Amino acid sequence: MKRFRFLTLVAIVAMLLGLTGVVYAGPPMPQFIQYLNVDTNPAYIGDTVNYSSQMYGDIRTSGAAQTNPCVVYYIPRSSSLGTDTGTLAAQTGSYIQSDTGNLPAACGNTNPGDAGASYNRYYAQVTQTGSNQYANWTLNMPNTLSGVTAANYNVQLCINFGSFSGTSWICSELDPDLTINAAATTRYVANTEAQCLGHTPCDTGTGGLAAALGNSSATTIIVIGTYNANPATSHTLAGGDTLKGSNNASININGACASSGAFLNVTGASTIQDLTFDGTCTSGGFSQGININAAGSTVTVQDITIQDFTNTGLQLVAGTLNNTGVTYDGNGTGASVTGGTAVFDNDTFTGNTTAGLAISNGSGTVTNSSFESNGIGVNHTAGTAVIGGISGMGNTFTDNSTAGISAGTGATIKDNTISGGINGIALTSAPMAIYANTVSGASGNQINCSGGAFSGAGFNYIGGNYGGGGSNCTDAEDQLGSPIVAWTDGTSLGSCTTESDSPIFDLGNNSPFGLTPPLGRDSKYYATTSGAGDVTVTGGTTQFKMHMNGDNDTGSEACNPMTEECWESSSNGRGQSGAGYYFSGSQDPTAVTLTDITARSANTWLPVGLVAGLSVLALGALFVLRKRQAL
C-alpha cells in the first residue's frame, strides 16, 4: 500500500512537470512503467494490434554517470513492429530487431527480458533532449501479426533510463497474455464494438474498413449497419475478396472528402454486394466512388446503391464488370465505362445530373434497366454500346432531360421504350443498328439524326405518323405504322416466317396507320425489313402486303396516297417479299365476284333493282292476261 501511494505521488508530480520532461533539480526519481495495454485481445493472425504504455524516469546527466535511455519490446515471433505515434516518438530512432545475445553497449550490454525463442526483440535508443529532466512519456506502438503462430504470448516492454534512477532495467508484461487465433478469412466492420453484434474479428472506428481490407488473411469483409468511413482515405479491394453488407449496411463517406482519386479502388477479381455507398461530402469529393482497374479479371457488383457522389459513382477502366441490381442515384454520372467490358442488367439510374450511364471507350451492354430524370439516360460517345439489343430485354427511359439515349457509331439500339425529354434518341452519327424501339413524348424529335444527316427512324414506332412525322431522319417514312407487340431477329414469329434472318415485327391487331383492309383478316399484322426475302403468313386463304409508305410504291404497284386499297395480294401482281406490312385473310379483294361487288359498292343495286322491277311487271301482266281469258 505504501508503494502504491508513493507511485501515485510520483505520477502526479510527473504530470505536473509536463508530458515531455521539464527541468528538475531534486533527488533521484525512480523509473517505472505505469501500464502496458493492447487494443485488441484476442487477435487474429494478420491483424495489426496497437500497444500503449505510459512510463516515467529520471534522465538527468549531472551528479552521476548516465547510460543512454533505451526501450525494448518483446513481441510474437515473425511479427513486425511499426512506428511509434506516442510522445516518445520524436526522441527515439527506428526500432532495431536484435533477437539473440545482449543488446549493444549503448543499451548496457545486457538482455533485460526473458521472452524466449517465441519472440522477436526490438530496441531503440532514446535521444536525450537536455539535462536535469524527469521524463513522462507515452508509447503507441503498432504490431502486425503476419506470419506468427496461433498461441498465447507474454508480450513485454522494458525500459532503462540509466543508473541515476537507481535501476538498470525494469519490465512490464501484458496482462492477460495476448491471444492470437488462427487467421480469420471473414472480418467484420462497424462503428463500435457494440455494433459488431458479437461478431469477431471486428474492426471498428473510421479506420476499421481500411484495416479489414488491408488484412492479408481476410477474403470476406462484412460491414454491419451504418458505418462511417474515413472520408479522406482511399481504400483498396484486392483480387479474390468480397465486400458485402449486413443489417441494411451502408458506408457513409461524409465530411471533408478527398478531392481526387476513388473512395474504393478495385484491383482484381472481387465481389461487392448488399451495400449502400453514400458520397455526401461536406467539402471535396472523390473522382469516383468505386474505380475498377482490374485487367484480366472479372468484378461482380450486385444489389448495391451508389449515391450522391459529385463526380462519378462507378467507373470501369479495365477488366470485366458484371453489374446487376444496382441503383445509381443523384451522382454527377452514375456509371462510366472508359475501358474494359461492362454488362449492366436490371439496374436503376435516377437523378444523375450529367448521365445515368456514360460509355466513352471499351464495351458496354445495358439490358432490363430503367433510366429516369437523368441529364442523358445513356450517353455513348465512343467504343461499343449495346442498349437493349435482345427482344424482351430492353430498357425504359423516362423524362431524361436532354435525351433518353445519345449515341453514334458503334451503338446497337433495340427494344427500348423511351418517353419525354427534348429528344427521345439523339444520334450523333449513324449507329450499327437501331430498330424495334418505341419512342414518344419528346418535345423535339422522337429520333433526331443530327438534323437529318442519315437514317435511324425506320422500323421504330415513333407514333405511327404516315409521311414521316416525329423524326428528321432520312428514313422517317419507314417508321412502323402501329405499336410493336413483339419482335425477333430470327426467321419466325407467330404465324409469320421469312426466307432469311431479318427483323420481324408483330403488330398485333392494330392496322398500320389505321389502314384496315376492306375484307376479312385471319392473322395478325406483321412488318419485315428488306432483308427478309420471301415472307409467308399463315391463317387465311390469301396473303396481302402493303408497302412501308406510298412513296415507296412505283409503277404498277403505286399506291399514293396510302388508303385501305393499298393492301394487295400476289394475284394482283404484288410480290410477297422484302420490306412491308403483311397479313393473311379469307378473301382476295382483287377477285371480283357478285358478293364482293355487293359488299363494296352501293351502285351495284341499280341493275339488280331493274331486274326485280321488270320481273314484277311481267308477272302482273301475265296475271291480268289470264284473268281476261277466263272471262
Q: 365: pLDDT confidence band, cut at 50, 70 and 90?
A: very high
Look up residue 511 and give its amino acid.
S
Predicted local distance difference test score (pLDDT) of residue 4: 42
Give the rounded percent of residues in the chain with a pLDDT score beyond 90: 63
- Residue 259 CA, chain-centre distance (Å), reads 21
Of 114-128, 214-228, 318-332, give the range with the top mean pLDDT: 318-332
* Phi then psi dihedrals of residue 155, to 5 deg: -65, 140
Is pLDDT at 626 greater than 50 in this prediction? no
Residue at grid coordinates 422522337: 446
What SS3 class is residue 568? strand
Q: Which three cell numbers stand for residue 279?
A: 458520397
What band does 620 get if pLDDT is binned at 50, 70 and 90? low
Rg (CA), the chain: 42
Give the pLDDT score at 268: 96
Is-contact 340 317, C-beta < 8 A?
yes
- Residue 213 has a pLDDT of 94
CB 357 within 8 A of CB 377: yes
pLDDT beyond 50 at 288: yes
List CB contacts of 630: < 8 A, sequence separation 6 or more.
none
**C-alpha to C-alpha distance for 310 and 330, rounded to whole angstroms:** 8
pLDDT at 556: 47
Task: Give the lowest-confidence range in 16-30, 67-81, 267-281, 588-602.
Answer: 588-602
Q: Tell me the β-bridge partners of 135.
A: 57
Where residue 518 falls among pLDDT bands split at 50, 70, 90?
A: confident
Long-range contact pairs involving 60-66 (C-beta distance under 8 Å, separation at least 24): 60/24, 60/28, 60/131, 60/132, 60/133, 60/134, 60/164, 61/128, 61/131, 61/132, 61/164, 62/131, 62/132, 63/164, 64/28, 64/163, 64/164, 65/163, 65/164, 66/162, 66/163, 66/164
pLDDT at 32: 86
> Can you tell me the mean pLDDT for 423-439?
97
Give the pLDDT score at 586.
82
C-alpha cell at 250: 451502408
* pLDDT of residue 248 exceeding 70: yes
Q: Say which residue, 136 or 421, is predicted with more confidence.
A: 421
Position 531 scores a pLDDT of 93
**pLDDT range class, residue 212, cuts 50, 70, 90:** very high
What distance lies between CA 36 and its chain's CA centroid?
46
Asked whether residue 299 carries a pLDDT value surpassing 90, the answer given is yes
Q: Return the pLDDT at 5.
A: 47
Round to whole Å and give the CA distance between 88 and 96: 16
- Mean pLDDT value across residues 132-151: 85
- What pLDDT digit, counting tens, does each position of 67-100 carry? 567 889 999 999 999 999 888 887 787 889 988 8
pLDDT at residue 27, rounded to an integer: 57
Q: Residue 532: is its pLDDT beyond 80?
A: yes
Do 288 and 262 contact (CB within 8 A), yes or no? yes
- Spatial separation of the C-alpha atoms in residues 365 and 374, rounded to whole Å: 18
For 498-508, how does the pLDDT look when each residue is reduced to its tens digit (9 = 90+)? Answer: 999 999 999 99
Asked if the model's pLDDT at residue 261 lies above 90, the reply is yes
- What pLDDT is stored for residue 141 in this prediction? 93
Asked whether residue 588 carries a pLDDT value surpassing 80, the answer given is no
Q: Identify which has the larger pLDDT, 6 or 67.
A: 67
Cβ neighbors of 215 (< 8 A, separation 6 or more) are 46, 47, 187, 203
Q: Is the pLDDT of residue 474 over 60?
A: yes
